[in-house]
Amino acid sequence: EPEVTQTPSHQVTQMGQEVILRCVPISNHLYFYWYRQILGQKVEFLVSFYNNEISEKSEIFDDQFSVERPDGSNFTLKIRSTKLEDSAMYFCASNPGREDGYTFGSGTRLTVV
Amino acid sequence: AQKVTQAQTEISVVEKEDVTLDCVYETRDTTYYLFWYKQPPSGELVFLIRRNSFDEQNEISGRYSWNFQKSTSSFNFTITASQVVDSAVYFCALSEVTDSSYKLIFGSGTRLLVRP
């Protein structure tokens, strides 16, 4: 069964550093998403991406965040200057059409020290 | 505004007991989808079910069953004859389908502990 692949599974970074989280969505999917889950809390929507542009973003997704689909297969989330409160599990997801079911990746656990 | 409430923060049962996880949602949309996901200790999100707002039939899949009631805005999940492997956090979610995206709004989750 096709999977959404996220790398790395765990990343530790120093406060103030830039970090890039990588995702490979399922190849025929058109909509891509990033979600965040702070430890012990609920999963929160960050951003959706369609047709090479952001289609919607949440209040969490401020100027320090950006997304990119650099080569037609990868989908990246960049955090420019990490803060301690960015420590969380970040999930990538994709779906083939706007109202189709989601497939989530297994997540990247980001720890900011 | 859309909202999902899972009032049960944590439930503990003994193996083989039946357990129901509650989910209440709020939406003004007439077309929406409801989901349940399982998050085991390893952290991934495991899809369990998706139900659209026009299909109120209850669903059964093995030991799992779901009861969707629009009249009470609830989408409850029952595990029959629970097993230790069912121990996980379970999230209910609601989709908001707009012209631009299809984001999920999650509840705060219910941690289920099944004791041997």
B88-108 pLDDT, tens digit each: 999 999 997 777 668 899 999
Interchain CB contact of B33 with A (< 8 Å): yes
Contact list in A for residue B44 (CB cut-off 8 A) is 104, 106-107
pLDDT recorded at residue B113: 98
Mean pLDDT of chain A: 94
State the average pLDDT over residues A55-71.
Answer: 94
Contact list in B for residue A42 (CB cut-off 8 A) is 91, 106-109
The single residue listed with the structure tokens 């096709």 is A2
The single residue listed with the structure tokens 């077309």 is B31
Q: How confident is the model at residue A70 (pLDDT cuts 50, 70, 90)?
A: confident
The number of C-beta contacts closer than 8 angstroms across A and B is: 57
Instruction: Decide if B46 contacts B38 (C-beta within 8 A).
Output: yes
Interchain CB contact of B53 with A (< 8 Å): no
Q: How confident is the model at residue A89 (pLDDT cuts 50, 70, 90)?
A: very high
Tokens describing residue B64: 């799992």
pLDDT recorded at residue A98: 74
How many other CB atoms sit within 10 Å of the CB of residue B7? 11
pLDDT recorded at residue A101: 81
At CA B107, angle to CA A22 and CA B74, rounded to 5? 135
Task: Give Cβ neighbours of residue B116 (< 8 Å, ≥ 6 apart).
Answer: B14, B15, B84
For chain B, where are the E strands, in sequence order?
3-5, 10-14, 19-21, 24-26, 33-39, 46-52, 59-61, 64-69, 74-79, 88-97, 102-106, 110-115
Integer Cα distance of A26 and A101 in angstroms? 12
Mean pLDDT of chain B: 93
pLDDT exceeds cutoff 90 at A1: no
Instruction: Decide if A28 contacts B80 (C-beta within 8 A).
Output: no
pLDDT exceeds cutoff 70 at A66: yes
Tokens describing residue A48: 């959706």
CA distances from B32 to A67, B2, B69, B88 (A): 27, 10, 13, 26
Which positions of chain B have pLDDT values less than 70?
A: 100-101
Residue A44 C-alpha, separation from nearest chain B C-alpha, in angstroms: 7
pLDDT recorded at residue B101: 67
pLDDT recorded at residue B31: 87
Contact list in A for residue B25 (CB cut-off 8 A) is none
Interchain CB contact of B43 with A (< 8 Å): yes
